[in-house]
Amino acid sequence: MRTVDLIQRKRDGGELSPEEISYLVDGYTRGEIPDYQMSAFLMAVFFANMTDREVSRLTESMMHSGEMLDLSGIPGVKVDKHSTGGVGDKTTLIVAPLAAAAGVIVPTMGGRGLGHTGGTVDKLESIPGMRTNLSVEELKAQLATVGLCFLSQTSELAPADGRLYSLRDVTATVESIPLIASSIMSKKLAEGVDALVLDVKVGNGAFMKKQVDARRLAQVMVGIGRRMDKRVQALITDMNQPLGYAVGNALEVMEASQTLQNAGPADLTRLCIELAARMIFVAKIAPSLEEARRIAEKNLVDGSAYKKFKDVVAAQGGNPLALDNFALLPNATGAREIASPRAGYVSLIDAEDIGIAANMIGAGRDKKEDSIDPAVGIILEVKAGEKVEAGSILCRLYYTKEDRVEEAAEKVEDAFHISAQRPEERELILEVVG
Ligand code: URA
């Protein structure tokens, strides 16, 4: 087989055989296919799409690119949750402890920032000392004691996704249904979970801008899971403004910590309760969804989920005191206020622009090898639907280097739309698939 022929066939709309897909994934994982050819292949998939047969094989090849975790020796139902990516989406940091506090075993593997969206692993690594590259032995031991672990991709679990993910991030090949579905499902299935809850984001800050595409992505992922005998549920949720108020790594850890102390933003809290409830329900810990919601709410209010978060941070080398004392987290050195140019209602906050602006000041990467600045980001002062006066503060940019602050400030100004009429309220949870 020649890689160039496979790129060409995909580019021209042809279908690849299972063997051809495995050849590409295995060759890339072993370092035999170079980044430039894989980039061309990803771009061909972006434009020419894939059949269900191709997506299933791509997922399987990526899943088998490393070890498959066998968690059967750990008692309890193993459930994970994954988001397709949004802005200000720190739900995993809250949902995983909420579910684990109810007895669900949660081996959650996150990603790094992708495109304009943030990544769970980058957020967690802003906690001093926190490590997410646990070995298989370490993660099994931690699941048996704490019931929860936060993992990043290693060379052991779904390494093909780790490599493809960072390549897609810098080659404009993220927003593709087959590539997102295979990325998410390969690493989740390699974790050895029994069930999975997916948060499929739709809107200006999501990779899927239209609900019909988000539904299709949800259906493809639910289908892959079903074919592998896993219980999978997907929620389609609104990403037409950042979730909560904080965007940026350490800033999001702070907001997650407040949310786990029942003092978080209403939208974030509501979504986290719903996602955790679905995990508790698919784990068969509660007989109904209503009962599962009640358990999740109780774990939030009585502090047991917050305690679980602190336990997992401590178990992974992080300083749990930083979750109470934010001075121990990385903090920015400069702040810039963005004021409303006129009075009116905030009709829209373009979440993609907010994510891009946060990346400009260092919250994300432009190139694979870039490092991020965990301290920087944006805190919204208002949300869509709120009334503002001329000169009211809309948000603050927190930075440590001045170089791109001006450019980022302009992007953020454009992100806020102010109108004379009060906008219609948007639903946060739009659909359930599976
Ligand atoms: N999350 C992932 O893990 N992969 C994607 O491709 C998008 C979101």
Crossing angle of helices 266-282 and 249-260, rounded to 10°: 70
* pTM for this entry: 0.93
End-to-end CA distance of the chain: 38
Return d(Cα 324, Cα 254) in angstroms, integer.
9
Please provide the size of the chain in residues. 434
Q: Long-range pairs for 403-409 at CB < 8 Å and ≥24 separation? A: 404/360, 404/361, 405/334, 405/336, 405/361, 407/360, 408/357, 408/358, 408/360, 408/361, 409/336, 409/338, 409/357
What pLDDT is stored for residue 365 in this prediction?
A: 81
pLDDT tens digits for range 56-80: 999 999 999 999 999 999 999 999 9
Task: Please tell me what DSSP assigns to residue 78.
Answer: B
Q: Name the residue at shortest CA distance from atom 3 of ligand 1.
A: 184
Q: Name the residue at shortest CA distance from atom 8 of ligand 1.
A: 84
Contact 412, 395 (CB under 8 A): yes
Is the CB of 241 inside a 6 Å radius of any atom of ligand 1?
A: no
Q: Name the residue at shortest CA distance from atom 1 of ligand 1.
A: 84
Give the H or E element holding residue 378: strand 377-380
Atom of ligand 1 minimally distant from the CA of 117: 8
- Residues labelled as active-site residues: 82, 161, 168, 183, 187
Atom of ligand 1 minimally distant from the CA of 110: 3
Tokens representing 59 are 């997922």
Give the H or E element holding residue 337: strand 334-339
pLDDT tens digits for range 75-123: 999 999 999 999 999 999 999 999 999 999 999 998 887 788 889 999 9
Mean pLDDT of 274-303: 98
Return d(Cα 39, Cα 177) in angstroms, integer.
16
Burial 30-61 (b: 16+ CB within 10 A, else e): eeebeeebbbbbbbbbbebebeeebbbbbbbb
Q: Which of 82, 170, 188, 239 to mutate to test the pocket of ligand 1 (most atoms within 8 A of CB)?
A: 82
Q: How far is CA 40 from CA 9, 44, 46, 57, in A?
A: 12, 6, 10, 19
Name the pLDDT band for 153 (thresholds 50, 70, 90): confident
Is the per-residue pLDDT at 285 higher than 90? yes
Name the pLDDT band for 26 (thresholds 50, 70, 90): very high
pLDDT tens digits for range 304-323: 999 999 999 999 999 999 99
Of the chain, the percentage scoring pLDDT greater than 70 comes to 100
Written as one letter, the residue type at 86 is G
How many Cβ atoms sit within 10 Å of the Cβ of residue 349?
23
- Token look-up 């087989």 returns 1
CA-based nearest residue to 117, from 206, 54, 179, 235: 206
How many Cβ atoms sit within 10 Å of the Cβ of residue 412?
26
What pLDDT is stored for residue 160 in this prediction?
A: 95
Is the CB of 55 inside a 6 Å radius of any atom of ligand 1?
A: no
Is the per-residue pLDDT at 367 higher than 80? no
Is the per-residue pLDDT at 154 higher than 90? no
Written as one letter, the residue type at 191 is E
Is the CB of 184 inside a 6 Å radius of any atom of ligand 1?
A: yes
What pLDDT is stored for residue 114 in this prediction?
A: 79
CA of 341 to the centre of ligand 1 (A): 36
Name the pLDDT band for 371 (thresholds 50, 70, 90): confident
Side by side, which strands form the sheet with 79-83? 79-83, 195-202, 231-238, 429-433
Contact 51, 91 (CB under 8 A): no
pLDDT tens digits for range 1-19: 999 999 999 999 999 999 9
- Token look-up 């690849």 returns 16
> Which DSSP string do the residues of 171-189 spell out, in sequence order?
TT----HHHHHHHHHHHHH
Is the per-residue pLDDT at 366 higher than 80? no
Return d(Cα 283, Cα 267) in angstroms, integer.
24
